[in-house]
Amino acid sequence: MANWAFLSCTADRRTYPSYTGKPQYRAVLSAAWHLPVLWWAIFRPADLVLDRSARKAGDGDPVPAPVVPRSRVKQRLAEALSRVEKLYPKGGSLSRHADLLVAALERAPQQAKYVTLEHVETAAYFQPGEFQQVQADILAYMAGRKVRAIQMRLRPFTAVANERKFNLPDEVTEARFTKADRENLYGLLGQGAQKLAPWQELKPRPPHRSAKEQIQQQLIDAVRSDKLMRAKVMLEQGASPLALDKYRFNALEYAIMHGSDALVRLILEAAGQPPARPMCIAADKGSARALRLLLSAGGNPQAFATSVGYSRKEYALSYAATSDRNSQPKVKLLLDRGADVNARNEQGESCLTSCYEVPDAMRLMLPNSTKRNRQQTVDHLRNEITHAEEIGLPRRVKRLKKSLRLVERHEIEK
Check residue 16 and give its pLDDT: 78
Check residue 44 and give its pLDDT: 95
- Tell me the angle at which helices 95-106 and 73-87 cross, rounded to the nearest 10 degrees: 140
Whole-prediction pTM? 0.56
Q: How far apart are the first and last CA of the chain?
A: 63
DSSP code per residue over 58-115 = TTS-B--EEEEEGGGHHHHHHHHHHHHHHH-TTS---HHHHHHHHHHHHTS-TT--EE
Q: Which of 254, 90, 110, 268 is nearest to 188 (CA)?
A: 90
Check residue 220 and give its pLDDT: 95
- Residue 138 and residue 38: Cα distance in Å, rounded? 11
Three-state SS for 24-66 is: HHCEEEEEECCCCHHHHCCCCHHHEECCCCCCECCCCCECCEE
CB 239 within 8 A of CB 227: no
Phi, psi dihedral angles at 11 (to 5 degrees)? -75, -25
Check residue 414 and give its pLDDT: 63
Strand partners, 65: 49
Q: In which residue ranges of the chain is pLDDT below 70?
A: 1-2, 19-25, 51-62, 414
- Residue 287 and residue 128: Cα distance in Å, rounded? 69
Three-state SS for 259-275 is: CCHHHHHHHHHHHCCCC
Check residue 1 and give its pLDDT: 44
Q: Which of 314, 255, 321, 322 is nearest to 289 (CA)?
A: 255
Give the residue extent of every domain in the chain: 4-200
Question: What are 351-384's pLDDT values in tens digits?
Answer: 999 998 899 999 999 999 999 999 999 999 999 9
CB 56 within 8 A of CB 63: yes
Distances in whole angstroms, Cα of residue 142 to Cα of each of 42, 45, 49, 107, 379: 8, 9, 17, 25, 72
Q: Which of 135, 9, 2, 5 is nearest to 61 (CA)?
A: 135
Check residue 51 and give its pLDDT: 67
Check residue 57 and give its pLDDT: 39
167: number of Cβ within 10 Å: 19
